[in-house]
Amino acid sequence: MAERKFRQNAAAAMAFLLAFAFMLRLFARTTPVLTQEHLSQLPLRLGPWRGQDTPIEARIVAAIGVDSYLNRVYVDPAGQPVELYIAFYANQRTDKWVHSPKDCIPGTGWEPVRAGTAGVDVPGRGLVVVNRYVIEKGLDHRLVFYWYQGRGRVMASEYAAKFWLAADAMRWNRTDESLVRVITPMADGESAAGGRLRAFLRTMFPQLDRVIPG
């Protein structure tokens, strides 16, 4: 019974992805949307947080196909870091779309431990649901929050993101979208790490909405 359900779910997922790929091919000529402001305009100072940019190698940027990206480390007054990564795609196609961290993170040597979702109350938006991911490399454990944002939506579900991508391509001729990911160490405990990421997101979100098209 379990095996049959697994096969049914796998078949449904495959059918969905094939339909999604067809839709993107159908609307491959959608007009690219530029960010309202360049991502680098996100302030280096966010409340008590101080940021520093960390450029990514050109070959990696070319491989992931982003139109714009931000890779930055913010540090709070206690010296605790939060890594912020934003990947913006102005026009997604069958050969160029947002990559899930669940696919990318293991390729860098990190192993997944737990996955779920987390709710964050942010100014002007209320409760925002994001993906919550615990990863490890040896004795090093880190907490990851990530979500998909674009065209006025913040989405944790990859399936919901793809559904709305296809729908918005039909309605508005837009396939622009961003992946937003924040990571922090868990040396001071998982609860403290979660509180740190929530505090950072509450401070960042109003600024994020300026640089990601709504």
Per-residue confidence (pLDDT) for residue 6, from 0 to 100: 43
Does residue 53 come out as left (phi exceeding 0), alpha (psi in the -120 to 50 range) or beta? beta
Q: Which of 26-40, 86-100, 124-138, 162-176 has the highest mean pLDDT?
A: 124-138
Residue-wise pLDDT tens digits, 200-211 = 999 999 999 888
Higher-confidence residue: 10 or 128? Answer: 128
pLDDT band at 116 (very low <50, low <70, confident <90, very high): very high
Q: What is the pLDDT of residues 8-56, one digit of tens each?
A: 454 455 545 445 545 554 454 555 555 656 898 999 999 999 999 999 9
User: What is the 8-class DSSP label of residue 91?
Assistant: S
Q: What is the CA radius of gyration of the chain?
A: 18
Averaged over 89-105, what is the pLDDT? 74
pLDDT for the residue 102? 77
Once rounded to an integer, what is the mean pLDDT over residues 142-147?
A: 96
- Return the ∠ at Cα 123 (arms to 161 and 146), rounded to 5°: 35
Residues 43-78 pLDDT 10s: 999 999 999 999 999 988 888 888 889 999 999 999
Do 118 and 130 form a contact (C-beta atoms < 8 A)? Answer: yes
The region that residue 152 occupies, defined by phi over 0 for left and psi between -120 and 50 for alpha, beta otherwise, is left
Select the more confidently predicted residue: 106 or 144.
144
Q: Residue 107 has what pLDDT?
A: 62
Per-residue tokens: 21:
């790929």
Query: pLDDT tens digits, residue range 145-188?
Result: 999 998 889 999 988 888 888 888 888 888 889 999 999 999 99
- Environment class of residue 145 by beta-carbon count within 10 Å: exposed (0-12), middle (13-18) or buried (19+)? buried
Q: How many other CB atoms are found less than 10 A from the CB of residue 198?
A: 18
pTM for the structure as a whole = 0.82
Mean pLDDT within 179-198: 96
